[in-house]
Amino acid sequence: MSDLRVNSSLQSLLDRVRACTVCAAHLPLGPRPILRVSETATLLIVGQAPGRRVHETGIPWNDPSGDRLRSWLNLTRDEFYDERRIAIIPTGLCYPGKLPGRGGDCPPRPECAPLWHPQLRAALPRIQLTLLIGAYAQGYYLGRRAGTSLADTVGRWSEYGPEFFPLPHPSPRNLNWLRRHPWFETTVLPALRARILTLPT
């Protein structure tokens, strides 16, 4: 944490989150919960789980996926990492490791979001918009309201407002998805950028 306005209750919660070892036996590099929060934040970004590079640096979205996400949001790196405005809490707070024999990372640990997200959300009273990036975040927060596929959920973005805005994951692995769904860039991104401009600075 840097020069943030964090009350003692939120700080106590963060101390407990960062000391969490619930999933330790399943984490190949050990626990390292990565999140950024401030009680003044109005935008919450919920992604999947930290990748290996993020685990090593301790900085969320510090990778090519983050570069694309910042482009989608039309935010500079400094704006994106302004904790006074933007909170970042992945569905799984720790790097879950690689899928055996396949590309990509394992899913977020299922224990994590039910344990910590309700407490963290309750400690962030000024959040006006939550970006749900990828199927895991959408599944946790939208539940049965989520569509039958990622494209279905993202295509119905307007149904989840003003609280939520579903997005695909900006990973380079999803370039084919973006090519197959050109409406995302022509319709969804302009709406997303306009919504972000309505948030307090």
Q: Convert the pLDDT of each residue in 105-128 to its tens digit.
A: 999 999 999 999 999 999 999 999
- For the chain, residues with pLDDT lower than 70 are 1-6, 102
- Cβ-based burial of 180 (10 A; exposed 0-12, middle 13-18, buried ≥19): exposed
Task: Give the pLDDT confidence score for residue 103 in this predicted structure.
Answer: 73
Task: Give the pLDDT confidence score for residue 122 in this predicted structure.
Answer: 96
How do 129-133 and 86-88 pair as beta strands?
Answer: unpaired
Show the tokens assigned to 138.
Answer: 């959408």
Task: Give the pLDDT confidence score for residue 2 in this predicted structure.
Answer: 41
Is 8-197 in CATH node 3.40.50.1100? Answer: no
pTM tops 0.85: yes
CA atoms within 13 A on the CB side of 126: 16
Task: Give the pLDDT confidence score for residue 6 in this predicted structure.
Answer: 56
